[in-house]
Amino acid sequence: MKFFVDTAEIDAIAELNDLGMVDGVTTNPSLILKSGRDILEVTKEICDLVEGPVSAEVVATEADDMIAEGRKLAKIASNIAVKVPLTWAGLKTCKTLTDEGQMVNVTLCFSTNQALLAAKAGATFISPFIGRLDDINLDGMDLIADIRQVYDNYGFETEILAASIRTVNHVTDSARIGADVITAPPGVIKKLADHPLTDKGLEIFLADWAKTGQKIL
């Protein structure tokens, strides 16, 4: 499974990238706002930092404008994945940019039918939102499983990018089901290393080591 980091914070990306934990980055208008940076400037900096796909999102709502924005974003770097919403205009944009050889991430997916349309339009990635489905008392993991089955049934090459990841269990379940990629905030990725028994075991080891009176350095 590939790990994408869902942030526009350079320091957070760099820390995880140094550990080999970054296969790509996803951004969106909300994350750009949080960073306080110019979208073109910060996106270029991220692209220079990581080798994998960096999703940069269009903000237009009409297809012609989306295509124009997508082409401009694509000029930032060769590893840009233009991010478009799963609307009819977004699908038109996806088809056009894909035909031009551009990676496209179709986002805000909430149904299997939407994911099917994105694959037909040639999307590089489909981003189903797990957490937001959980918010309305639906199981977001059911959507990941359904998309996985449909894509496998017909050999679609679009990669399932599990998004709106909020817990470590979302990561585990996505991996178990077979999502190709997860994108998560840096904090969630770091929490994957946490376990109370690890903490307890370390506490015991350190206490016993202190009793020996020895030092390694």
**Per-domain boundaries in the chain:** 2-212
The mean pLDDT of 20-37, rounded to a whole number, is 94
Closest CA to 151 of 177, 183, 184: 177
Per-residue pLDDT tens for 174-209? 999 999 999 999 999 999 999 999 999 999 999 999
Of the residues 83, 120, 190, 200, only one is catalytic, namely: 83
Q: What pTM was computed for the model?
A: 0.95
Position 112 scores a pLDDT of 98
Per-residue pLDDT tens for 50-84? 999 999 999 999 999 999 999 999 999 999 999 99
If pLDDT is split at 50, 70 and 90, which confidence band does 26 have?
very high
Position 197 scores a pLDDT of 98
Position 13 scores a pLDDT of 97
Position 41 scores a pLDDT of 95
- Let me know if 92 is a catalytic residue: no
Task: Give the CA dihedral 21, 172, 8, 159, nearest 10 degrees.
Answer: 90
Q: Give domain 2-212's CATH superfamily.
A: Aldolase class I (3.20.20.70)
Position 203 scores a pLDDT of 97
Q: Concatenated DSSP letters for 179-202?
A: -SEEEE-HHHHHHTT--HHHHHHH
Position 86 scores a pLDDT of 98
Burial class (CB in 10 A: 0-12, 13-18, 19+), 79: middle
Q: What proportion of the chain, given as a percentage, has pLDDT over 90?
A: 99
Q: Which structure tokens are listed for 47?
A: 């692209």
Alpha-carbon gap, residue 102 to 78, rounded angstroms: 9
Q: Where are the alpha helices (DSSP H) in 56-195?
A: 63-74, 88-99, 112-120, 130-135, 140-154, 168-177, 186-191
Position 181 scores a pLDDT of 98
pLDDT, averaged across the chain = 97
